[in-house]
Chain A
Amino acid sequence: MLETATRGKKSTRSKAAPHERFLEAFRWMLLARTLEEKLVSLYRGGLITGGVYIGKGQEAVSVACGLFLQKGDILAPLIRDQAGRSAFGEPLLDVTRTYLGSRQGPMRGRDGNIHRGRPRDNQLAMISHLGAMVSVTVGALMAKRFRGEKNFVGLSCIGEGGMQTGAFHEGMNIAAVEQVPLVVVATNNHYAYSTPNDREFACDDLVDRAIAYGFEGYSVDGTDLAKCLDVIGGAVKRARAGRPPQLVVASILRLSGHGEHDDATYVTDEIKREPFARDCVKVAEQAIVDLNLADAETLTEWRRDAAAQVDQAISTAQKEAAPEGDEEDWCAISTRDMRRRRSCSAMTNAFLSTDKMLAEHSAAPLRQRKVSRRNFPDAC
């Protein structure tokens, strides 16, 4: 069983030799791929209601997003981040319970599929409106700074489609203004649903925007696991060390439809022949074989282990009861007794003590704002 980023021992992870980390990442990718293939077949068999959105082709980028985070860090994943979510610490049961509509999942049937999250464990629960979670991640980081926490980072995932929203621009701007330890990993999978890159944006390279935002920008081949670990891992390290916010733009092809309801016939044959259209799982596995990092028997054993974990999580969730409308608590707010009289003076005193705490912590000097005027070619 792999150790997740938030539950594992930090020290062993940060000191892992590159090839060990590569293998660990590969196993998370394998788990994500196995799980999502299974979800797709459940969906096709009519056992999942709503949609299934998979990260096929994005696992190398995604796993790097989760792998370098530690306990206390924040991950704001999006719809194709199964590998990253798992590596960060999301239990497989959260996935299967949410997809299969168990009342025991973190969303209890109230929300489905990829909108799941555990905000208390720093796994933010995305909303469908892309770009919105960047500023939420910034706010969470500001709260940590106010409280005087140290050595934390936040990582917010986005796609090239989401990068074109107003909310994304606002979030990037405030992140740089506040100089929070944020990494934004933007995966360009070349389609926003069915809209190709040339109808999405007109700039030469999305990473050029980093300078304009006040971020440090890096590009990476998202089909190459070693490079993803290197570049995204480096960005997390720099953000943690107090460098300005980091933008990583990864290039891949989405190897599925937008969701499983989409047959993606609009994806051209031409683009499927591009180098970025490679399957990152196959590329990583080939590297393992070529470099003799693990033998065939071990790889088979890992696949078997992934399949067993997935089957276990699915069968558990399938046995659990679904939520029922007449048993649901139809109240959208947590305050149940609005009419309870509150004493103003007691509350005022409570806030004054909060003010004092904030004053002490916000007195800490803001990070030195130093934004490089160039991209960093060493990253790609």
Chain B
Amino acid sequence: MVGTAIGAAINGMRPIVEMQFADFSSTALNQILNNAGTHYWRTNVSVPITVRLPSGGTKGSGPFHSQSMESIYAHYPGLIVMTPATVEDAYTMLIEAVGIDDPVVYCEHKYLYYHLKADNLPTEGLPTGRARIAREGRDLTIVTYSAMLHEALAVAEQLVNEGFEIEVVDLRSVKPLDTNTVLASVARTGRLLCVGESFPWGGATAEIIARVTAEGFHLLDAAPQRLNAKDTPIPYHPNLWSAHRPNAKEIARKARALLRE
């Protein structure tokens, strides 16, 4: 499927490949990473494909219909990795993805299908590669993307009652990664928590912490923290699943600990 899309893209088309579940894109890793991802660099001919990955967990979906794969794709050169969190971004960024001359891995969280609605579709969108301050604050920066944005925003609201103002940064795309917006936010708050739904070893949250520590160590008042899913396959049972991924309770616990430091 991805191979044919690459062939068509080299021949002037702009194919969109829908993976049904992000998890299944692992069977196309070779074509995405080694063929699409290397093609422009090797041959000077870009491959304008959009690979749609319905991502993230839902109740009862289990190990093979719940994964978040953005960190794998972001690790490899030659790909753009979009992780929209809102209906508006999902709309404008998908259109943008098709228009971009490079291969785009478009991670659309299934939470967006089920839980979010927009009254009007926008005609203008923030370009990919620019993060958005989803909520302003002064005490702690939570950097997140995709469906975890909504968990983070809920925690931010909750912690207002405890006297904290949390700033929430929606990355929108993990590659390119808008380090400047993150650094500017950390400069305001002095504290950083990164939240992502993918597995904990390495990945987007680790990359953000590495960058902020390297470039903005002096801005930090406390050691930066990260929160990801657990390092096991994604469980089937709703009770286990909701404890496997970062949830509002976990994020709030981690945020409070950081704020007390």
Q: Which A residues lie at the B interface, using CB under 8 A?
A: 106-108, 110-111, 115, 117-120, 124-125, 127-129, 132-144, 146-147, 167, 170-171, 174, 178, 332-335, 338-345, 347-348, 350-351, 354
Residues of chain B from 83 to 112 with CB closer than 8 A to chain A in the complex: 91-92, 95-96, 98-102
New A-B pairs, 14, CB < 8 Å, besides A106-B44, A137-B7, A333-B78: A107-B43, A120-B45, A127-B30, A129-B30, A135-B2, A135-B7, A136-B31, A136-B35, A138-B3, A139-B8, A140-B11, A146-B13, A332-B77, A351-B95
Question: How many interface contacts (CB-CB < 8 Å) are there between A and B?
Answer: 148
Q: Is B164 an interface residue (CB 8 A)?
A: no
- Least Cβ distance of A67 to chain B in Å? 23
Contact B12 A348 (CB under 8 A): no
**B42 at interface, CB cutoff 8 A:** yes
**With contact pairs A120-B45, A129-B34, A136-B7 given, residues A342 and B99 touching in the complex (Cβ less than 8 Å):** yes
- 1/0 per residue, CB under 8 A from A, across B56-96: the answer is 00000000000000000000011110000000000110011
**Contact A174 B4, CB 8 Å, known A106-B43, A129-B34, A333-B40:** yes
Residue of A nearest to B15 (CB): A139
**Assembly CA distance A106 to B45 (angstroms):** 11
Contact B3–A334 (Cβ < 8 Å): no
B25 interface residue per 8 A CB criterion? no
A124-B4 in contact given A333-B78, A345-B123 (Cβ < 8 Å):
no
Establish whether residues A142 and B4, one from each chain, have CB atoms under 8 Å apart when the complex forms. yes
Q: What is the distance, in angstroms, from A348's C-beta to the closest C-beta of chain B?
A: 6
Cross-chain pairs A/B with CB under 8 angstroms, 6 sampled: A118-B43, A119-B43, A136-B31, A167-B3, A345-B123, A347-B98
Within the complex, what minimum Cβ distance (angstroms) separates B101 from chain A? 5
Q: Chain B residues near A115 (CB, 8 Å)?
A: 42
B41: min CB distance to chain A, Å:
5
Closest Cβ of chain B to A118, distance in Å, is 7
Specify which of A120, A147, A167, A345 is in contact with B30 (CB 8 Å cutoff): A167
Chain B residue numbers with a CB within 8 Å of A339 are: 127, 129-130
Neighbouring B residues of A139 by C-beta, 8 Å: 3-11, 15
Instruction: Please tell me if the beta carbons of A119 and B45 are within 8 angstroms of each other in the complex.
Output: yes
Q: What residues make up the interface of B, taking CB atoms closer than 8 Å to A?
A: 1-15, 30-31, 34-35, 37-46, 77-80, 91-92, 95-96, 98-102, 122-125, 127-130, 176
Which residues of B are found within 8 Å of A140, using beta-carbon distances?
Answer: 7-8, 10-11
**Contact: A135 with B4, CB < 8 Å?**
yes
Closest B residue to A115 by beta carbon equals B42
Known: A107-B43, A111-B42, A139-B3. A335 touches B8 (CB 8 A): no
In whole Å, how far is B185's beta carbon from the nearest beta carbon of chain A? 18
Contacts of A340 in B (CB 8 A): 127
Q: Is the interface of A mostly helix, strand, loop or mixed?
A: helix
Contact, CB under 8 Å: B101 / A335: yes
- State in angstroms the CA–CA spacing of A343 and B95 once bound together: 10
Q: A142 to B78: give the CA distance in the assembly, Å.
A: 24
Using A343-B123, A344-B123 as known contacts, say yes or no to A335 and B7 having CB atoms under 8 A apart: no
**A residues within 8 A CB of B122?**
344
Chain A residues, Cβ within 8 Å of B9? 139, 143
- B40, A127: Cβ atoms under 8 Å? no
- The answer for the CA separation of A107 and B15 in the assembled complex, in Å, is 25
In the complex, residue of chain A having the shortest beta-carbon distance to the beta carbon of B45: A119
Whether the pair A344, B42 counts as a contact (CB closer than 8 A) is: no
- Of chain B, the residue at the smallest CB distance from A141 is B7
Q: Which of B6, B11, B38 contacts A144 (CB 8 A)?
A: B11
Say yes or no: A334 contacts B102, CB within 8 Å: yes
Contact B40 A334 (CB under 8 A): yes
Task: Give B174 Cβ to nearest chain A Cβ, in Å.
Answer: 13
Task: Decide if B127 touches A341 in the complex (CB within 8 Å).
Answer: yes
Complex Cα–Cα for A108 and B78 (A): 17
Instruction: Tell whether, in the assembled complex, residue B5 and residue A335 are in contact, meaning their CB atoms are under 8 Å apart.
Output: no
The chain A residue with its CB closest to the CB of B34 is A127
Name, among A110, A124, A170, A338, the residue most crowded by chain B CB atoms within 10 Å (CB to CB): A338
A146 CB → nearest B CB, Å:
7
Q: How many angstroms from the CA of A141 to the CA of B3 in the assembled complex?
A: 12
Query: B4 contacts which chain A residues (CB < 8 A)?
Result: 135-136, 138-139, 142, 174, 178
Distance in angstroms from A280 CB to nearest chain B CB is 30
- Say how far B150's CB is from chain A's closest CB, in angstroms: 23
Closest beta carbon of chain B to A231's beta carbon, Å: 25
Can you name the residue of chain B whose Cβ is closest to the Cβ of A118?
Answer: B43
CB neighbours (8 Å) of B46 from chain A are 333-334
Within the complex, which residue of A110, A143, A147, A338 is in contact with B7, where a contact is CB–CB below 8 Å? A143
Contacts of B98 in A (CB 8 A): 347, 351
In the complex, how many angstroms separate the beta carbon of B106 from the nearest chain A beta carbon?
14
Which residues of B sit under 8 angstroms from A106, Cβ to Cβ? 43-44
For B80, list chain A residues within 8 Å (CB): 333, 335, 338
Whether the pair A338, B128 counts as a contact (CB closer than 8 A) is yes
* Minimum CB distance partner of A137 in chain B: B7
A28 to B: closest C-beta gap in Å: 24
Distance between Cα atoms of A178 and B91 in the complex (Å): 31
| Interfacial chain B residues near A134, Cβ < 8 Å | 3
Q: Which residues of B contact A342 (CB under 8 A)?
A: 96, 99, 125, 127
Which among B12, B38, B100, B127 is the interface contact of A127 at CB below 8 angstroms?
Answer: B38
In the complex, the answer to whether A143 meets B37 with C-beta atoms within 8 Å is no
